[in-house]
Structure 1
Amino acid sequence: MIQLRKTVLSDLDYFFTFQLDNEACFLAAFTPKDPHDKDAYIRKYANFLDDPTINMCTIIVDDVIVGSIAKFVMHGDAEITYWIDKAFWGQGIATKALTQLLTIEKTRPVFGRTAFDNTGSQRVLEKCGFVKIGTDRGFANARQAEIEEYIYKLDEEKKELPAT
């Protein structure tokens, strides 16, 4: 069973470890300049815990922390982000967690962004009703290059859990 709960400071240690995986960083693409700087990571995300514009949740499966998911505001737009521990990829966890978050977070439209070649994340967004509306280019720290990213948008509230 997948549960979302408000992220607490001690969860950040798990999240930091998840983002150290090279393949996961490559797919996420838009990562910190130095993903190995734990102090900087903890400082950054600890500041988000009490920010009323950010809803940061911890994803738990069978009492195990397996990832994070959040709604935040960037340039006036609601956006979502998520990260699943690589050991739990391919199990539908991101899709189910995003579906749950979208029942809590009612702001619409809400946007999601993904690297052009992160097909797993693209499938998650599409299963949850997001539609690709455009592209952008940005510098991806994990790849040390400028890459294309896809922009997705969800206009309406998701009413049902998608089939996985």
Structure 2
Amino acid sequence: MDKAHNITLSETQQNDLHFFFEFQLNEEANYLAAFMPKDSHDKAAYLEKHTKHLADPTINMRTIKVDGVIAGSIAKFIMENEAEITYWIDRKFWGQGIATNALKEFLKIEESRPIYGRVAFDNYGSQRVLEKCGFVKVGMDKGFANARQEEIEEFIYRLS
């Protein structure tokens, strides 16, 4: 990390979704995330889906701010009766320890355990974030990655 940043998490607001949509348009980020909607450029569909998430009591969605600037999102959601974590950091904030520090803070307020994280086999940065936060690789799966238009392996991590 180049310098110390003031990283804060706040409850996600409707306006934050516009920033999140723009972040996920980055092609490199899309490729690494891999498991994207079929049309990640459809802003109306994105806003509709995530607006529903804001109202869902099983989803804990937070906005990550760095020195007061929106830098990403982090959330816990339920998939197949298990708590999962997801996060997205704006490309310009990569490599600064933002995701790791945000996830550590998030895990203080989100007490679901075990909690899982899934990551594309070649998304080494995200794998490191999970490992630095105490997640352990517990398995692998395969799925169709819309961002790559092919089936790929994903690693499954768990924090107990």
Tell me the TM-score range normalised by the shorter chain. Answer: over 0.9
What is the RMSD of the two structures over their aligned residues, measured on CA atoms?
A: 0.4
Q: Distance in 2 between matches of 1:50 and 1:44?
A: 10
Which of 22, 32, 35 is equivalent to 1:17? 22
Q: Does 1:110 align with 2:115?
A: yes
* Partner-residue secondary structure (3-state), 1:147: strand
TM-score (norm 2): 0.96
2:44 is aligned with what amino acid?
Answer: D
Q: Distance in 1 between matches of 2:28 and 2:36?
A: 12
* Partner-residue secondary structure (3-state), 2:122: coil
* Partner-residue secondary structure (3-state), 1:49: helix
Aligned residues: 155
Which of 35, 42, 47 is equivalent to 2:52? 47
Q: Distance in 2 between matches of 1:103 and 1:154?
A: 13
Aligned to 2:126: 121
Which of 137, 145, 151 is equivalent to 1:132? 137
Q: Distance in 2 between matches of 1:61 and 1:111?
A: 25
1:113 is aligned with what amino acid?
Answer: R
Aligned to 1:92: 97
Q: Does 1:147 align with 2:152?
A: yes
Q: Distance in 2 between matches of 1:97 and 1:70?
A: 11
* Partner-residue secondary structure (3-state), 1:132: strand
Identity %: 66
Structure 1 ranges of 4+ moved more than 6 A: none
Q: Distance in 2 between matches of 1:15 and 1:57?
A: 11
1:61 is aligned with what amino acid?
Answer: V
Shift of 1:63: 1.0
Q: Distance in 2 between matches of 1:32 and 1:91?
A: 27
Aligned to 1:3: 8
Provide structure 1 residue ranges, at least 5 long, that are not aligned to the other structure: 156-164
Provide structure 2 residue ranges, at least 5 long, that are not aligned to the other structure: 1-5
Deviation sequence 1:138-164 (CA, Å, 0-9, x none): 000000000000000000xxxxxxxxx
Q: Distance in 2 between matches of 1:106 and 1:60?
A: 21
